[in-house]
Structure 1
C-alpha cells in the first residue's frame, strides 16, 4: 500500500494505492474486495478531473494529459508536454492580465466622458491594444501548429478510374497499400493510410474512381468517395496528363466544393517525357509528376505542408497542444480585439470598446477553465481512459 496525503497527491485529495502481486485473477479478487467494501470504479478521466477541480492543474494541462497519451509522434508528445508544464496556460494568463489592465484604464476613462479622446491618446490605449493583438496572433499561430501536430490533416485522392490514384498513394506512404492494375475501377472502396510528414500526421485516403457506372458495388464506393471529400482538409484531384486536353472540361471538378482546398495533380508525365514542375498559387495550384517513377513526389510533399500551414520546428518552441475548442476561443478573442481596434478610432464608442475587450477576455478564460460550463467538462473528460 502507498498513501499520498492531500494536497500533495495527483488529485489533491488523500489517495491510497493498493499494489497487488500476481496475475489478473489476483488483481480481480483485490478489485472485487474493494467494491464489496463500498468503493466504486473510476469514471474515464476522473482522477484528472478531480485534479482540475482541486486546482492542481488548469483545464489546458488536464487536456494535455490525454494529448500525451494520444500523441503519435515525438513532436506531438513534446508539444503536449509543453502544455502540461503550463507554457500554453502562461501565455493565456499573460493575455488575460494585459486585457484586465487595459479594461481598467478604459473604465476609468468612462468616468470622464468629456475628455475620453484625449485620455485614449495620453494612455496610449491603441498602442497597448496593438501589442495585445500581436501577442494573441503569435499564440494563435503556435496553437495552430500544435493542433496540426495532434490532429494532422486528411487528404483525399480523387479522379476518374485509372488516372493513378492508387499509385500515388503507394508513393506517398512508401509501400504497396493499394492494388495497382491497368483495369479501370480496381479500387472500389476507400483505403486510408497515415504517414508522418516532417513530424505532422497526414491521413491519406485513396478513393474509388468517379464515373457513371451501373455496378452496385462500384456505386457504393463512389458514395464513400463523395463522403470522404466532404471530410477532407485537402483534395488531390488527379488527371492523366497523357490524355488530358487543357481546353476540355473536367467532369470530376463538379464533385469538389469550390471552397475546398485542392491541388490539381497531372500524373503520368513519364509517358510524355516531361520534367516535374509546380504551377499556380495557393488558390489554384497544380503539380506535374509521375506516380510510377516518383518524379515530382517531393514537390507534392512540400506543397502539402505549405497549404497545411505547417512550419516545422525541431525545438518545438512556441508550439502548444491545442484542441479545436482552443483554436475557436483564440479566434473569437482575435475577432473581438479587431473590433476593439476599430472602436479606438471612433468617437463616442468607448462603451463598445470596453465590451469587446470584455468578450475577448471571456473567450480566453474558457481555455484555461476559469469560465467553463459543466457540460463542456463532461465532454472533455469523457474521452480520457480509465485510471487517468
Structure 2
C-alpha cells in the first residue's frame, strides 16, 4: 500500500443511489484546493456551509454542504474536506473528478482502499486494533457484532491489551534490575512475588483470550461440522438448518462422498455448516470403496478444524459401538453437541438435555422438529447472547498474537520454577510476550503487515 502524504480523494459513501453522498479529501494542507473549488467562499473549520458545487466552467454540478476539518482535529489527523451532496452515482463521480482536477497541481490523487484509516493510524488518531474495528463495524451483521465492534473502536480492546503490557513491563523492570545487580544475594522470585505477578498476568491474558476467541466466532462465524455414521441424517439436518435442499438425501448409506459447505445465518450470525461423509471406519473394509474412504479421511480433517461438532446419532436405534468409537476420536478441546435425530421414528420428544459429557439435543431433521433448539445452542456457543463480560471482535492475527503471548508466559513460568532461577531466560520470554501484545495495537508492526490490513478496507475509508 502507498503510504505517501500526498492529498487523497475518494467517494466515501457506498456504491449505488442514495439520498446523500459524500466525497472526502485528506491532505497536509488543503487551503489551495478549497480556494480552487470555492474562490469566493471562506469555509469555517468544523462548520457546515451550504453552497453550490461548481464545475471548472462555472456550471453547477450539485448543491450541498461543505465541511472543513483543520488538522489535527480530523479523522485522519490531516486537513479533511467533505462535500456532502445528493447520492447519485454520476453526481458523485463528477464531484470527485472536479476535486482531482482542481487539486491536480498540488498532487491530489485517488485514495487506495483503507488509506484514510491508515493515515488516522499513522497520525496516532487510532491504534491498529481500533482501525480494524472500523471495518468490523461496517461489516457487522448483528446487533451483538455492532456493539462489540463499537467497543473496540472506542478503545476497550486496546485498553485491556495496554493493561496487560503494563503488567508485563512492571515485571520486566524487576527482572532486569536483578540482572543488572547480580551481587545482590536475594531470592528475587520470593522477595518480589514474581511468580504471583506472573500468575496474575497469565489469568488476565486467559480471560482476554477467551473473550477474543468468542468474539472471533461472532465475527467470522462458527465452523460447524456434521459428523456421524452413514445415514443418520446429516444431509437432512444441513437442509433443515439452511431451509433449502442443499445436500442430496437418500436412504442409501454413503450418499455423501465429499464435504458440502453451506454458509447460513441465524439471527445474523454466520454459520459455516459442513456436511461430511459418513464415518464407518470399523466396518468391513470391502464394503467401502476408494472414493468413500477418501471422503471419510476428509471428514476427520474437517472435524479437527471445527469450532463445534454436531455428532449425529439415530435416536430410533440408540447408541452403538460405532458411535462410541467416533466419540473417542473427538478432540477434548472442541465443543460437541450430540444430536439424536429421527425422533419422529423413536417416539422421543424434542428436548435439550445437558449431561456431563455434552449437550444432547433430540430432534427430527426430516420433520423439522426441534431445529430451533439446535439453533439456540449454536447461537449460545457463538456468543450471540453473551451477557456480562464484553466480547472483542478479534481477528485471526489478534488470536495468533494472544496465543503467542500465552506461550511465552508459559515458558517464563517454566524458567521461574528452575532451581538455578534462569532470570535471563525469564526476562527474554517477558520481552517476547510484550512484543506479541504490542503487535495487536500496532506499537510493534511491520510495514508489510500494515499494507495487508488496510488494503482490505473499502475505498473511501
**TM-score scaled by structure 2?**
0.69
Using the alignment, how far apart are the partners of 1:351 and 1:52 within structure 2?
35
Task: Choose 375-384 or 297-306, whichever is displaced more.
Answer: 297-306
Q: How do 1:47-66 residues align onto structure 2 when only pairs under 5 Å count?
A: 47-66=116-135
**Match of 2:426?**
353
**Residue by residue, what CA displacement relative to the aligned partner does 1:198-233 show, whole Å, maximum 9, x if unpaired?**
x8543324467789899x9x9999999788667643
Using the alignment, how far apart are the partners of 2:202 and 2:396 within structure 1?
20
- Determine which of 295, 318, 321 is the counterpart of 2:390: 318
Using the alignment, how far apart are the partners of 2:115 and 2:422 within structure 1?
46
Using the alignment, how far apart are the partners of 1:85 and 1:15 within structure 2?
21
Q: Would the alpha carbon gap of residues 384 and 222 (structure 1) be closer, same or farther in structure 2, given more than 3 Å must change?
A: farther
Shift of 1:28: 2.2
Task: Choose 220-229 or 335-344, whichever is displaced more.
Answer: 220-229
Q: Would the alpha carbon gap of residues 18 and 110 (structure 1) be closer, same or farther in structure 2, given more than 3 Å must change?
A: same
Q: Secondary structure at the match of 2:146?
A: helix
Q: Would the alpha carbon gap of residues 6 and 233 (structure 1) be closer, same or farther in structure 2, given more than 3 Å must change?
A: same
Q: Is residue 97 of structure 1 aligned with residue 175 of structure 2?
A: no
Q: Is residue 376 of structure 1 aligned with residue 449 of structure 2?
A: yes
**Match of 1:202?**
271
- Please say if residues 190 and 207 of structure 1, whose CA atoms lie closer than 8 Å, have aligned partners that are also in contact: yes
Q: Which runs of 5+ in 1 are unaligned?
A: none
- Please say if residues 156 and 207 of structure 1, whose CA atoms lie closer than 8 Å, have aligned partners that are also in contact: yes
Shift of 1:59: 0.3
**Match of 1:165?**
234
Q: Which runs of 5+ in 2 are unaligned?
A: 1-65, 281-286
Shift of 1:41: 1.5
Q: Which has the higher strand share?
A: 2
- Determine which of 202, 205, 215 is the counterpart of 1:146: 215
**Match of 2:115?**
46
Shift of 1:382: 1.3
Q: Secondary structure at the match of 1:113?
A: coil
- Determine which of 86, 92, 101 is the counterpart of 1:27: 92
Using the alignment, how far apart are the partners of 2:346 and 2:422 within structure 1?
64
**Residue by residue, what CA displacement relative to the aligned partner does 1:305-327 show, whole Å, maximum 9, x if unpaired?**
67x47484245x33222111111
Q: Would the alpha carbon gap of residues 222 and 192 (structure 1) be closer, same or farther in structure 2, given more than 3 Å must change?
A: farther
- Bigger relative contact order, structure 1 or 2 (CA pairs below 8 A, ≥6 apart): 1
Q: How many residues align?
A: 379
Shift of 1:149: 1.6
Q: Would the alpha carbon gap of residues 149 and 279 (structure 1) be closer, same or farther in structure 2, given more than 3 Å must change?
A: closer
**Match of 1:18?**
83
Q: Which has the higher helix share?
A: 1
Q: Would the alpha carbon gap of residues 224 and 32 (structure 1) be closer, same or farther in structure 2, given more than 3 Å must change?
A: farther
**Match of 2:38?**
none
Shift of 1:348: 3.8
**TM-score scaled by structure 1?**
0.81
Q: Secondary structure at the match of 1:157?
A: strand
- Please say if residues 144 and 384 of structure 2, whose CA atoms lie closer than 8 Å, have aligned partners that are also in contact: no
Using the alignment, how far apart are the partners of 2:375 and 2:452 within structure 1?
35
Q: Secondary structure at the match of 1:18?
A: strand
Q: Would the alpha carbon gap of residues 154 and 107 (structure 1) be closer, same or farther in structure 2, given more than 3 Å must change?
A: same
**Match of 2:312?**
238
Shift of 1:373: 0.5
Task: Choose 232-241 or 36-45, whichever is displaced more.
Answer: 232-241
- Please say if residues 278 and 299 of structure 1, whose CA atoms lie closer than 8 Å, have aligned partners that are also in contact: no
Shift of 1:235: 3.6
Which one has the largest radius of gyration?
2
